[in-house]
Amino acid sequence: MSQLVNQTPWQEWMKPAASVAEMPVLDMLKEAGATIKPAVLAKLQSEYMQEFGQLWQNFAVSKLPELKDRRFSSSDWHTHAMHAYSAASYLLNARFLMALAESVEAPGKVKQKISFAVQQMIDAMSPANFLVTNPEAQAKLIESKGESLAKGITQMLADMQKGRISQTDESAFEVGKNVATTEGVVVFENRLFQLIQYTPLTKTVHQRPLLMVPPCINKFYILDLQPENSVVRYAVEQGHTVFLVSWANPDTSMSDVTWDDYVEQGAIKALEVVRSISKQDKVNAFGFCVGGTIISTALAVLADRGEHPVSSLTLLTALLDFSNTGVLDVFVDEMQVSMREQTIGAGGLLPGRDLASTFSSLRANDLVWNYVQSNYLKGEAPPPFDLLYWNADSTNLPGPMFCWYLRNTYLENKLMQPGALIVAGNKVDLGKIDAPVFIYGSREDHIVPWQAAFASTRLLNLKQKNRNTFVLGASGHIAGVVNPPAKKKRSYWLNPDAVGKDADVWMAGATEYPGSWWPVWSEFLAEHGGKMVKVPASAGNKEFPASEPAPGRYVKVRAD
């Protein structure tokens, strides 16, 4: 990205693309072996020149352009003609470049990669990202008599030391003190995870406990940020005895850990401990994102062994069918997977910062360039925000585990194929999981497209589709999930008669309801939680005693 910034001077964005061959995107197309029909290219050129000509005419008569992009919402962009013209020229060139990318004749995946690369270049080249073309930063520089720039440089150097851009005031948070504060104790640990049992908040609890398996690619406390937006606390308040897997943040001692280990020593072991402590044959299971993939794989493995230990399964924004992986697909092909296998497939670690950078690039304007502008150009200190603190608290992954996951799910999509995979010594057939399933997808999710989450309804309970519940929530991968009822925000959609059918058919007949989807999930859990019983006298049992207060040690280990 920095290479693009250095190679393409900002002034180029203020020039008309009279010769399209001068634009760097065409070199990219040639290298990818992609083409654009001459007639389409000529049409785009003609439209571009007409719009650019109109822009010049307006500038000549001092008619300022409309700037509807929120990056240029400040009055500084609208009151200075040169800056307004700079932004308008950039937006025109950006539209033209994306139109070029969308007009490419190439296989779907190649076209997707081209569009992604062009979008990254466009985002990087915004005049808002450079001091010389950002009037807001210039005004701040003059107003502060240079102090804003000095502070910005200091913050940039500090971030270079950390190896990442600061998105929040990280000194404002401490795990266990003001995030991840729901009361509980650790009742089991091995090298892969600690198991937390949370303290009941009701006089009676459902007979069957709830085991929550979060993703291992980041910390569990996204489900327990603050008391008012904690999924964990909400479940406890609804009368459930909640257990949660807190994954270890791998170091070199875990460089040999495999996907089989995460399934056998992770999810399956957690199920064993929870059943032992609760003295229940069946428990409610829950998986979020990759945690949903892990717990589903574990239940399929146990089904192949003739065991069915759950009374229900909840999957939040989780992939089982990897046919549609959204924009993440641009990072997965045979070459990239093979490269990872050669470097860390037999042993090693995938650094957490690599994953963090990948996810940030999916929303570069929000998670990268926004902070370049505020932190460095304007010298503003980022405000405290619990979710962004969590976002920066990245985790490493064991190389063998990551490479197996990348190849067998994202690249080859074998998990959804009955018997195509052997995990922990058993064939994986998701159709053999014998439990009602609650599946949630977020409508604007760019990591797990909601249609991909919905696809799980066609893999589970094949003979009894009425055992599957699908709920679609508003917003994205995280904000859609963390949507407590008390906030009275957003909305959700239901269409129980079309679950298991085509996603578009389901959406066409779905009914929208205001507020949070959590109460719908609560009703589902209560239905499968068994009768209400007295609260246990203490956490754990003789075999698995309480060892330390929640949130435990593992979640406090930082990747950097």
Task: For residue 453, give every residue at least 6 positions away whose Cβ sits within 8 Å of its Cβ, in sequence order, or none.
Answer: 315, 317, 318, 319, 439, 440, 441, 442, 445
CATH number reported for the structural domain that contains residue 492 in this entry: 3.40.50.1820
Q: Which position among 87, 192, 285, 289 bears the catalytic label?
A: 289
**Domain membership flag for residue 373:** no
Residues 459 and 520 in one domain: yes
8 A C-beta contact, residue 124 and residue 4: yes
Task: Return the pLDDT at 23.
Answer: 54
Residues 17 and 94 in one domain: yes
**Domain membership flag for residue 74:** yes
Task: Return the pLDDT at 12.
Answer: 44
Task: Return the pLDDT at 26.
Answer: 63
| Count of Cβ atoms closer than 10 Å to residue 355 Cβ | 18
8 A C-beta contact, residue 296 and residue 287: yes
Cα torsion through 437, 417, 263, 520, rounded to 10: -10
DSSP readout, 29-75?
HHHTT-B--HHHHHHHHHHHHHHHHHHHHHHHTT-PPP--SGGG-SH
Task: Return the pLDDT at 35.
Answer: 81
What average pLDDT values come out for the chain (560 residues) when binned by 10 residues? Answer: 35 42 58 79 92 89 90 92 93 93 86 90 95 95 96 95 90 96 98 98 97 96 96 98 98 97 98 97 98 98 98 98 91 93 96 87 90 96 94 95 97 97 98 97 96 96 88 96 95 96 96 98 97 94 96 93
Task: Return the pLDDT at 214.
Answer: 98
Does the active-site annotation cover 289?
A: yes
Residue with tokens 């406390």: 221
8 A C-beta contact, residue 312 and residue 436: yes
pLDDT, tens digit, 9 for 90 and up, residues 138-172: 999 999 999 999 999 999 999 998 888 999 999 99
**Domain membership flag for residue 108:** yes
DSSP readout, 191-205?
SSEEEEEEPP-SSEE
Residues 134 and 188 in one domain: no
Residues 131 and 194 in one domain: no
Angle between helices 81-102 and 24-31 (to 10 degrees): 20
**Domain membership flag for residue 364:** no
Identify the CA nearest to 474 among candidates 460, 450, 492. 492
Residues 118 and 199 in one domain: no
Task: Return the pLDDT at 18.
Answer: 37
HSE, side-chain direction, 13 A CA sphere, residue 207: 11
Residues 406 and 272 in one domain: yes
| Count of Cβ atoms closer than 10 Å to residue 504 Cβ | 11
Strand pairing class (184-189; 548-549)? antiparallel
If you compute the radius of gyration of the chain from its CA atoms, what whole number of angstroms results?
Answer: 26
**Domain membership flag for residue 157:** no
Residues 194 and 134 in one domain: no
Convert 313-342 to b/e letters by CB count within 10 Å (16 or more is b): bbbbbbbbbbebbbbbbbbbeeeebeebbe
Q: Which domain holds residue 412?
A: 184-351+396-556
Separation between Cα atoms, residue 245 and residue 439, nearest integer Å:
20
8 A C-beta contact, residue 389 and residue 172: yes
**Domain membership flag for residue 274:** yes
**Domain membership flag for residue 155:** no
In the chain, the number of structural domains is 2
**Domain membership flag for residue 104:** yes
Task: For residue 213, give every residue at least 6 positions away whose Cβ sits within 8 Å of its Cβ, in sequence order, or none.
Answer: 245, 266, 267, 270, 285, 286, 287, 288, 291, 292, 294, 295
Residues 33 and 126 in one domain: yes
Residues 320 and 468 in one domain: yes
- Give the end of a domain, one of 100, 121, 138: 138
Task: For residue 267, give every residue at least 6 positions away whose Cβ sits within 8 Å of its Cβ, in sequence order, or none.
Answer: 213, 245, 294, 295, 297, 298
Task: Return the pLDDT at 54.
Answer: 92
Residue type, 274: V
Residues 229 and 295 in one domain: yes
